Amino acid sequence: MKRAVRKNMQRTEKEQRSQANIISCVAFTVLWEDGWREKRIMRRFASAMEVMQELKTKGLTPLEILEEETGIELQMDGERSYHEFMYLAHDVPMRPMTDAEIIYMRNRSVKFASLILLSSLCVVLHREDGWGFERISRFLYRMDLVRKLLGDDEQKCMDFMRNNTGKDPKEMWM
């Protein structure tokens, strides 16, 4: 079964990278359309990666940090709250898992990869740019509109960014 866990981990990591690329392209474009430029956006992305590292120091996920600091609970359409998943919220007790449960958990967590990155970016926009509930909500609404328009097609999102900003995602962060 360990082989199955390893294969699953490779597959889910690939999907998480794809989700991160989709979110990054859409967020870059939305911020660009607000008048932001490359260096400022890339600094916020770098800071978002630091927020993800807070899990190690504070024991909180970016979803929890965003909710704690802004009152915004990000949630995916048709999904339960992240508070119900032990790998997304510290208030759900951890327990040892079987290999089958690890595979199931990793498969479920892929869905939340984009939400975690997006929550990290929103934490940074709150901390560094003073964005409050209203501004973050508008940003998330615009992100959601573009995501629904483009779907989960990574290439469409990369083309969208390239066409709207003149910047090539592959050169920016790959």
Tens of pLDDT along 81-102? 777 766 666 665 566 777 777 7
Between CA 124 and CA 128 the distance in angstroms is 6
Supply the pTM of this predicted model: 0.86
Residue 172, pLDDT score: 81
Contact partners, residue 44, CB within 8 Å, separation at least 6: 31, 121, 124, 125, 128, 129
